[in-house]
Amino acid sequence: MHIEELKVGEGAERAGEEENKSYYGSNEVLGIERSVEEWDAKRVLVGAGARALFYPTLFYNVVRNKIQPEFRWWDRVDEFILLGAVPFPTDVPRLKENGVRGVITLNEPYETLVPTSLYHNYGINHLVIPTRDYYFAPSLTSICQAIDFIHSKRSLRALLMLV
């Protein structure tokens, strides 16, 4: 794959144009169709791999957390932010006791082990942004939504957890 830097004044539609022509032929419609098909195939393949690896890696991390005292499930990265692995339902009361008032979940639905209703039962707001592991990132809209959520909690001086 060739990534080309855009020059000032050039539109985004020019990025990768030459690569598409040489790799897919000169038919631009064919190039667009093929790149969409390849992207969808990659998304499906990565999704299947991530789903297959989720529980084995979760098990590995739970065991590692029990064996290695320096391996922490969550880390405080800021005065108001915890960053870490997916919590279990049994962790929710402890999160509440530690002052967590909001949780942002950046996982796929099958990776989310705590339902939103359980967080709400403990007075913890929950924002879910479905995000596929490895090659994919949340949309700009979702990132802005998460930032707004963080700022709303920070203004209350509440602890927030990102998983």
Mean pLDDT for 95-110 is 90
The number of domains in the chain is 2
CATH number where 87 lies: 3.90.190.10
pLDDT of the residue at 5: 44
Q: What is the pLDDT of residues 107-147, one digit of tens each?
A: 888 888 899 999 999 999 999 998 877 667 888 999 999 99
pLDDT of the residue at 131: 85
Residue 77 in domain: yes
Residue 25 in domain: yes
Say what the pTM is: 0.64
Residue 6 in domain: no
Q: Compute the C-alpha angle 124/142/131, nearest 5°.
A: 85
Q: What is the pLDDT of residues 22-67, one digit of tens each?
A: 333 444 444 445 555 566 777 777 767 777 777 778 788 778 888 8
pLDDT of the residue at 124: 95
pLDDT of the residue at 145: 94
Output 1 or 152, whichever has higher pLDDT: 152
pLDDT of the residue at 156: 73
Mean pLDDT for 98-102 is 91
**Cα–Cα distance for residue pair 123/117, rounded to 1 Å:** 10
Domain around 126: 72-162
Residue 129 in domain: yes
pLDDT of the residue at 117: 95
Output 63 or 154, whichever has higher pLDDT: 63
Instruction: List, in order, residues 6 or more apart from 105 with CB less than 8 Å away.
Output: 86, 112, 126, 127, 128, 129, 163
Q: What share of the chain is helix, strand, coil (3-state, %, to 5)?
A: 50, 15, 35
